[in-house]
Every structure is written in structure tokens, then in C-alpha cells.
Structure 1
């Protein structure tokens, strides 16, 4: 793998997961005998092509030190910021400064709470990006009817879903372009809901790779049971 093709992973894990209503952040909730975050990181560590993984932690985090991966040689940590975009930006600076990684490297950003992503799809995403030399994300086409509502939650219209996709992670971009886009959005105080939205804001090209629908994000309490079912099904069918 050439210098230009070196790949780092960034896993933002500084959130508190307030919607989960649990006693600890959702990334540290138990899932199949481990934690959500441990399973997510193990998926990424199975990729030989990664130089390393930067896990972005909350400064008040008291759980990371209890994980099984705290001393893994390819797992690094840094502190997050106020928003997800700030946390990712901190990780990019870490990769550049501490790890001494050249700006031409690629960065794979993946949600801590998406433990059901498959290695097959991550590998396909990497192959697509390296072949076309442009950023790309995993996403799935919207299948449900989407309603637009007013402030009183009354339906105001129905959206055309024919060209709508639901963004997933990982999302893969060059370190230089992603860092520049995030810095621009922060300077202009523009909203950043995912890494792709920052790249889009500065006019960057982003490809979509169709993802499996079972790459869910654990957000609500009922998602844990669904994620455990998916992981067991993936293990039984070999879709890891």
C-alpha cells in the first residue's frame, strides 16, 4: 500500500447517548457479552489495511479503561469536542501531529454505535474510493414514505423518496479534504450532521455505495435487542 493509500479509522465515542436513557453512554452498553464499542472496534481491527484507529473520548469518560482494547497497539485515543464534527477534527489533528501521518492519507470515520457493519461492505467502500480517488459513504435507499410536518406535527406534505438515501457509516475521505471542510464549516458556523455534509458544503464529490439495511445505529433502547439479533444472524451466515 502506497503512502497515498494509507488508511486510518476514526471512531467518535464522546457522546453521552441521552436518548438511550441508560446509566452509561450507549457505546458502553452490553451487547452479546461485550460492549457496543468493543464490537465496533473489533470489526474495524479485522481490516489489515488500517494503520490504526483513533477513538475519540469524552474528557469525563470513566469506561474506556475497563474495555478489552485499552492497550491494543493499533488503537489510539484523543479527547472530543462539543459536537461530533469537533471530535472528528480533533482526531484528524491527532493523526497528523502525533502519528506523523502525511496529509494524503485516507480517513474512515465510523459511528461507535454501528456494531453491525460488515467487513465486506467496508472493504467494498475502500476499493471504490481507492479506484476512483474520491470520497464515498455507505448508504441505503429510503423505502418508507417520508412525511414533512409543521411545528404542530401535522403532515404538511409527502416527500419524493426516489432519489433519497439514508446515510450510514463508514464514510471515507482524504485527511486533507475532510480536515479542510470541517474547519471551514466551523469557521462559518455551518451545521455538520455527518462527514459527507461537510465535504458537500465545500463542493466536494461524494459517491454512494449501497449498504445493507442491517447496518443499524444503536440509538434507542429497543435497538440493542435488534442489534444482538443481527449480530447472531451475521455470525450464523458468515456475513461478518
Structure 2
């Protein structure tokens, strides 16, 4: 079984409020992107990693990955305007049987979670990491009026990695080329093809670093894991 990873890293991270794109911000002196890549590069079942970046950051990202000696397994390619475009373009450079897609700014994914995703996708074809919702969720109209309260027991907060049979993901992205709005994750496109997508339970420390306060949460997670 061959497994490859796509890391979309072309986002600008406007909500972080910094000139430096969030994937290059540091946690304990190491860029977030490198923390994330190390998780996959050290996993024995991963054969290749594709990082999709903005054209003007291709050299910078490649030099950074080389400096941390991850270039033996990682290639840097130009992504697209949207995350969806970056994944589709990355598939052209990845020829593995199974494809994992993971956010560049989720640096706390564990080896155990990666292993679980890989083992489950082999029998199910499409799996996503997720955790049960803790909060009550309201569906709200454009006018700010609550329209309904979904049953929390049926709601999960979706994370990455997400893993797919390669041909399913390729077909889903080809079909999505004429989609009116970009999908928020790859599973959404596979679902629209009619394929079942299964949940693999993750953990709440697998956060996506998006806003400034997430950096404080990141420090807390590091300290907690050390203990």
C-alpha cells in the first residue's frame, strides 16, 4: 500500500493579523509548517509529501524544508487561489494509492491518529478525523434569528487529516471544477459524489492555528504533553 500526503500551505492567514503567513510563524523557535511536516515525515507508512504554496513562496518553503532535512520525502509545488485548487494541483504530482490531506497549521496531530486514519481508509475508502461537539450549536438565518437547534449528539467538529482512495479524490475534484463555491474540505466533495465518508475519532489537542489566541493554546498543549 502506498500513501502520500498533501499539505495545502498557500493560505495567507488574514485572521492571524501578522505580515508573516501563519504557517511560517514559530512555536518554540520552529515554524509551524515544519512541526506539521515532521509528524508525517517520521511516519513509516508515508512515502511522499507534497506541500502546495504560493508561487512567490516556493523558494522560501523549499529552502526551509531543506534546512530541516525534510526534503528527502517532501516536494514543494505551486498551489492555487483556493485550498481546493491547491489539492487538485497537488494530485498531479502524487501517484500513491491512498491520499491524505492535512492542514499545514495543525502541528499537533499524533502518530497514533495518522496510523488510525491510514488503517481505516484501507477498508472504508474515505475517512476524516473528527471530535464530538462540546457546545450546543444553533442554525441561524441571515437576519440573525435562530432557526433550529440540531441534536448535539449528531454533530462532530471536523479536523484533518482526511484520507481517501486516490481515484475517488481525483474524480471529486474534477467534478468540482464547475462548483459555484469552493468546498471547505475535501470530504465535502467526496460526499457529493455519493461515496460514504466515515468518522475516525481524534482528540481535542489537534487544533488548527488560525487566530492569535491559538498560539497560547499551542504553548499549553506543548506543556501538557511534556507532563
Q: TM-score, normalised by structure 1?
A: 0.88
Matches within 5 A, 1:39-78: 39-61=35-57, 63-64=60-61, 65-67=63-65, 68-69=67-68, 72-78=71-77
Give 1:37 deviation, angstroms. 0.4
Alignment map for 1:56-135 (pairs within 5 Å):
56-61=52-57, 63-64=60-61, 65-67=63-65, 68-69=67-68, 72-95=71-94, 101=95, 105-130=97-122, 132-135=123-126
Counterparts of 1:202-213 in structure 2, within 5 Å, are 202-213=193-204
Distance, in Å, in 2 between the alignment partners of 1:28 and 1:188 is: 31
Residues 1-240 of structure 1 mapped to structure 2, 5 A cutoff: 5-61=1-57, 63-64=60-61, 65-67=63-65, 68-69=67-68, 72-95=71-94, 101=95, 105-130=97-122, 132-189=123-180, 191-234=182-225, 236=226
* Closer/same/farther in 2, CA of residues 177 and 69 from structure 1, 3 Å limit: farther
What is the SS of the residue equivalent to 2:162? strand
Query: How far does residue 157 in structure 1 lie from its aligned partner after superposition?
Result: 3.4
The runs of at least 4 aligned residues of structure 1 exceeding 6 Å deviation read none
Q: CA, structure 1 residues 16+176, in 2 after alignment: closer, same or farther (shift >3 Å)?
A: same
Q: CA deviation at 1:14?
A: 0.5
**Secondary structure class of the residue paired with 2:189:** helix
Question: What is the RMSD of the two structures over their aligned residues, measured on CA atoms?
Answer: 1.7
Q: Deviations over 1:66-95 (max 9, x none)?
A: 453476210101111111111001110111
Gaps of 5+ in 1: 96-100
Give the C-alpha shift of residue 125 in structure 1.
1.2
- The Cα shift of 1:206 comes to 1.0
* Contact 1:28-1:63 at 8 Å conserved across structures: no
Q: 1:16 to 1:188 in 2, by over 3 A?
A: closer
In structure 2, relative to structure 1, the CA distance for the partners of 1:71 and 1:6 (3 Å cut) is closer
User: Structure 2: where are the runs of 5+ without partners?
Assistant: none
Instruction: Say how many residue pairs are matched.
Output: 224
CA shift in 2, pair 1:63/1:222, >3 Å: farther
- The alignment partner of 1:171 has SS state of strand
